[in-house]
Amino acid sequence: MAPRFLTILFLTDATTCPRQVRLSQRALGGVLVGGVLTLLVLGYFGIHFLTVEVDYLELVRLRHAVQAQQEMAQQLETLSQEMTRLRTFDTQIRRLAGMQAGPAAGAPTFSVGGGTLELAKALKEGEQAEQVLFLARLYQDLERLEREMALRSESLQVVTEYLTKQKDRLIATPALWPTEGHVTSPFGPRTSPFTGQPQQHTGVDIAAPPGTPIRAPADGIVTFAGTLPGYGHALVLTHGFGFKTFYGHNQRNQVSKGQTVKRGQVIAFVGNTGYSTGAHLHYEVLLNDQPHNPLKYIVDEGQRANVIRGQ
């Protein structure tokens, strides 16, 4: 059978003579098959391009997420190290202050430093659950560190208040020797130089040349400045925390009642007023109005040794 042909006419405005193309059925089938194949190939590459583009954008997003999580892991690691340093400092300062131990450390942290490997594995294998789990661990670590920081902050506040109180108490403690000289009559039982009878000496007598400066052994306020029977010119300083100091037989007082004095400030001069057998200072330390041995409060070991040797 003779082959059939298909004639295609092309008409244009420029000519009245149409152009024609004559195709056999076989040629026409080849053109159609080629066109379909071309469309399929173009469609395949188009879909592939779109898929690659989507995968690329997803990869960029995941990379940003990984980077953000790595930075978070590094920040948590730094915070954990700082928390360890703060915990050690809290323990040391409590030990030095003689205080009880502070709050116990929290549970050990997860291996935040190994987060990069976990994230890389999760990204490589597409295990989103591992990534979510790692993020959950990071947030748990963050919450734990925040709780411990709050505890440490409260602990250090307690330490600060305690040390401030101790500092104030130290300032109020009569820790310096009030004048230069040597002890002629210590604290405790003795024989009265006037009656020859046993008596309890409530202070110490420090022999020194007349006019030797008497200095405040601690910060305080002058609560008495005047004369007393038997003690002549006398002074009383109130220091706080129950501490008071008394000074008798002064040549003259250098401060007046109500005046605030600082440790080391000259408050009077050694004299021989009142009932006295020679120039000296009668010095007392009272705690809650009870007399105590002044020597046990002196922290200047050099001065204390000189005084003790002079007994």
Domain spans in the chain, listed from the N-terminal domain onward: 80-172, 182-309
Please tell me the predicted confidence (pLDDT) of residue 103: 61
Show the tokens assigned to 91.
Answer: 């323990």
How many whole angstroms separate alpha carbon 237 and alpha carbon 256?
Answer: 10
Give start and end residues of each alpha helix (H) in the chain.
Answer: 25-97, 115-125, 128-172, 301-309
Q: Is 310 helix (H, G, I), strand (E, B) or coil?
A: coil
Q: Is the pLDDT of residue 113 over 50?
A: no
d(CA 225, CA 244): 13
How far is C-alpha 191 from the geometric centre of its chain's CA atoms?
57
Burial of 178 (0-12, 13-18, 19+ CB in 10 A): buried
Task: Answer with the residue of higher pLDDT: 271 or 131.
Answer: 271
pLDDT digits (tens, 9 = 90+) for 22-72: 666 666 667 677 777 777 777 777 776 666 666 666 666 666 666 666 677
Q: What is the mean pLDDT of residues 269-277?
A: 92
Give the pLDDT confidence score for residue 305 in this predicted structure. 40
The structure tokens listed for 162 are 């305690």
| Token pair of 158 as six digits | 């307690």
- Of 58, 67, 82, give the one whose Cα is nearest residue 115: 67
Q: Which of 60-74, 103-117, 144-158 has the highest mean pLDDT?
A: 144-158
Answer whether 231's CB lies under 8 Å from 283's CB. Answer: no
pLDDT of residue 214: 97
Given this model, what pLDDT does residue 269 score? 98
Domain 182-309 CATH assignment equals 2.70.70.10:
yes
Name which residue leads in pLDDT, 250 or 311.
250
Q: How far is CA 253 from the centre of its chain?
A: 47
Q: What is the mean pLDDT of residues 132-159?
A: 73
